[in-house]
Structure 1
Amino acid sequence: MTTSSKTLGDLFDSFKREAFRLETLDDYSRSGNVDAYHAFLAGEPQPDDYNAGWVEELRSHTGQGKRIHRVHILSRPLTEYLRFELGWGYRKNMTGGEEFFILDTTDKPNPLENVPDFWFFDFESVAVMNYDEAGKYLGSEVLGPERTAEFARFRTTALAHAEPFTEWWAKYGA
């Protein structure tokens, strides 16, 4: 149940210290960047201005000392979409100061089984990301403060089991 009149956009615009994202899906291709994904699949080079708007927003936040970071839970072999997201998206977004971590469950159990995708802001606000079975984004739900501690634990667990993206990518990515 949504207990706040704030939206995900409001939370992103107003956070003061930290925005954390947990990603759990292997395919977000129906949720945005569709043209870029098709270009990637066709073997085209990444355009110089790929994700430029998001990178600029990242810079505006990280330039003020705010931290934006995410953990993606995945297993190998990577889907074509994950090769795109990590190879094009993460590497590009890092230029704006976003930090990435990988929780690779290929050879170990997922410590966050059945936890939804979410954004968590300043240890105060949670927005759960809702997707259909095909990975199409359906919108977000801002949860009430009574759920904050639960999602703080999810964040802590994710980071405790993840490794920095650049280290993981050097081993398994390119």
Structure 2
Amino acid sequence: MELFVAFCGYVGAWLLVAGPMYQGALELSEEQIDRGMIREQSLAIPHQERVSPWWWLLPPVAYVLIHNAQDRWRRQVMAALPAEQREQFIEYSNKAAGWFIVGAGAALIGIKEAFELVEELEWPGWVTIVLCVAAGALAIGYTTGRMHRTDRALHAEDAA
């Protein structure tokens, strides 16, 4: 019975990863966002001069310098966008971040459940990694497969 419960916990936890991943993909695909305009504006703003690789001798300093340069560029791109596109982008980003947090939390539970299943079966510890990678790949595969089939069904007349 303990093995059954451990297996159910593992499968259930990874279903909690696949669900938000799929729901997030659905919601984000429905967002009305002018990707062309945003891409155009981002390409029009020149990137800051690259931070010297020598700064990686002091990794925290390199991280801060690179982060600050990217943040300045991001603010310039946002300032260049019309208000409507800026709002679209921020809404899209916020939804994506929310779904990412839900999925990441579920993935952490999935890792714990995989570890407990491996312990219950008395398998070597590295099997936990294999179970997590396999479950993650299945969740990604399910989401991309469903999104592809949905897109194909919605645009069936284009394929004919």
- Normalised-by-shorter TM-score class: under 0.3
TM-score by length of 1: 0.19
Structure scoring higher RCO (CA < 8 A, sep ≥ 6) equals 2
TM-score by length of 2: 0.20
Higher radius of gyration, 1 or 2 = 2
